[in-house]
Amino acid sequence: MTDPSVNAALKTQPLDDQLSKRNFEALSKFIYSYSGIKMPLSKSTMLEGRLRRRLRVTGIATFDDYCDYLFNQGGIEHEAIYLIDAVTTNKTDFFREPKHFDYMRDVALGDIVRQFSERRLRIWSSACSTGAEPYTLAMVMSDYLQSQAPDRDYFILATDLSTDVLQKAQKGIYSSDMMAPVPPDMMRRYVMRAANAHRQEMRVAPMLRQKVGFARMNLMDAKYPIGDPMHIIFCRNVLIYFDKQTQQQVLTRLCNSLVPGGYLFIGHSETVSGFDLPIRQVANTIFKRI
């Protein structure tokens, strides 16, 4: 079968086409093996809805044809990234779960500056979505270092599994509504408004954008190519999509990517209870590497 996008204009998906149980099971098995994300049968309708757009883009007529292309004709090698982009959830906000950033500012950063002599502090936003989290981290870091440790610098690595969200994140352009949680003083210093007020868009200032590097990374990979271990890692609201075994594996690799004395932040709905990890809890969903 040739690249299906060539025939995009020639095919349309039947309105009554539905994702069969057999195809759902094949897709969910692949999604789990590739990304660690569990797709129970209860999410069949959700998966079907998200894949309809992918079928329109490729020009493939039915879910049966799409799955045949993926699993019987070798299409999965080309299509995997687009399939995962279609099914991943990317809910994100600036200053989401704000107590994490309060703790980082009030406790963690002072502790890190005292512990480590490196001039550049390293932070990793490991599920960065469209960029709100790493840019929030950049605002907090810039404010803190300017006032408390002007001799220090920082760099933020921001990674995600989805290429779509990474492209959006690199641009640093957001709606006014999405930027609303940014405090007014930070808004003045770190955010630029669109010249055309009707666009209702804002952009993260260049001084922050240059502090954040974006890259695609799969937390299911056996090794995380991040360079030197991090002083702070944020991995929030992604563990909930993994089963216990995968959570253990991912958390172990994250801890190995953290310097002793560094901090790990997870989502407020997540837990490390029952896992054997080299960390101790210092606040709600905040841990310090032993």
Q: Which of 65, 160, 209, 289 is catalytic?
A: 160
Position 35 scores a pLDDT of 92
Sheet bearing 258-266, strands edge to edge: 212-216, 153-160, 120-125, 230-235, 258-266, 286-289, 279-283
Q: Domain boundaries in the chain? A: 4-87, 98-289
pTM, full prediction: 0.87
Position 137 scores a pLDDT of 98
- Second-level CATH architecture of 98-289: 3-Layer(aba) Sandwich (3.40)
Bridging pattern class, strands 258-266 and 201-204 = unpaired
User: Per-10-residue mean pLDDT for the chain, 290 residues long?
Assistant: 42 67 95 91 91 91 95 92 83 92 98 97 97 98 97 98 94 94 96 82 96 97 96 95 94 98 96 96 98
Looking at domain 4-87, its CATH class is mainly alpha
Q: Which two tokens stand for residue 67?
A: 């799955």
Same fold, 4-87 and 98-289: no
Contacts of 221-224 with C-beta under 8 Å, sequence gap 24+, read: 222/253, 223/253, 224/253, 224/254, 224/257
For residue 251, give the nearest of 263, 264, 269, 260 by alpha carbon. 264
CA distance 129 to 136: 13
Q: Which of 17, 50, 143, 253 is catalytic?
A: 50
CA distance 93 to 95: 6
Position 112 scores a pLDDT of 98
Q: Judge whether 160 counts as a catalytic residue.
A: yes
